[in-house]
Amino acid sequence: MDVRDVALVHRDQARRFVVINKPAGLLVHVAPHMKEQSTQPTLADWVKKHFPSATTVGDDPAYRPGIVHRLDKDTSGVMVIALTQDYFEYLKKLFADHAITKTYLAIVRGKVPGAGGIINKPIGITSGTTKRSTRSSKMAKEAVTEYEIIEQFERHHQWFSLLRVRPQTGRTHQIRVHLASRGWPVVGDPLYGGKQNYRLASRLMLHARTIAFDVVPGKRMEFTADPPPPFVDFYQKTE
């Protein structure tokens, strides 16, 4: 994925932050143990090029300039990036206080029953792997995910559900793990859905649609990133 596919959603007039739409397939930043080895392009590279002031912002600005939160490499969607250290600390506190609201769109395999619900299951690490699981107690942390059904459709003689998902906590792979634990893996997810699920789509069908927060105390704004064509095509071109 080319960093040129990053789209600017909002530029704060006071130059405190920007909001971007990250494409699927683009890594946000390299892992700590890969800092000296990785040559793949990252969102961090894009930030450094387009917003040089951010190169001194953050907890580890050399590798995560202005980056307060992240999306999985294969997840697309909206992210906020701080351009000053003061605003980085402000956003960091908002995340810590659960004062930032995010919504995702997810296409999952299966016909999800009812109108929606809440999955409240701790997520731990599966020993010997990078996978997370609701069945593992290793380093398990509270995780809560709210979901609602937008639409259901049939394609290639299989049922799928388009969901609006609101994670109330921010665990690694949380949405993917929680939905798969109910038997509704995100389409295109090889880690939690198996090979058959992975081959159903050209990408992971998970998109961060909105992010909302007080840009200054008392002034709340919501920013939206539209899902890309491969995501939209999957549920619009039903057969």
Q: Is 72 tagged catalytic?
A: yes
Strands 132-133 and 144-155, sheet pairing: unpaired
> Which entry of 12, 60, 72, 233 is annotated as an active-site residue?
72
State whether residue 180 is helix, strand or coil.
Answer: helix
Cβ atoms within 10 Å of 7's Cβ, excluding its own:
14
Per-residue buried b or exposed e for 9-19, using 16+ beta carbons within 10 Å of the residue's own CB: bbebeeebbbb
Structure tokens at 71: 């999306």
Q: Which of 210, 223, 208, 233 is nearest to 106 (CA)?
A: 208
E strand or H helix at 132: strand 132-133
Just list the catalytic residues.
72
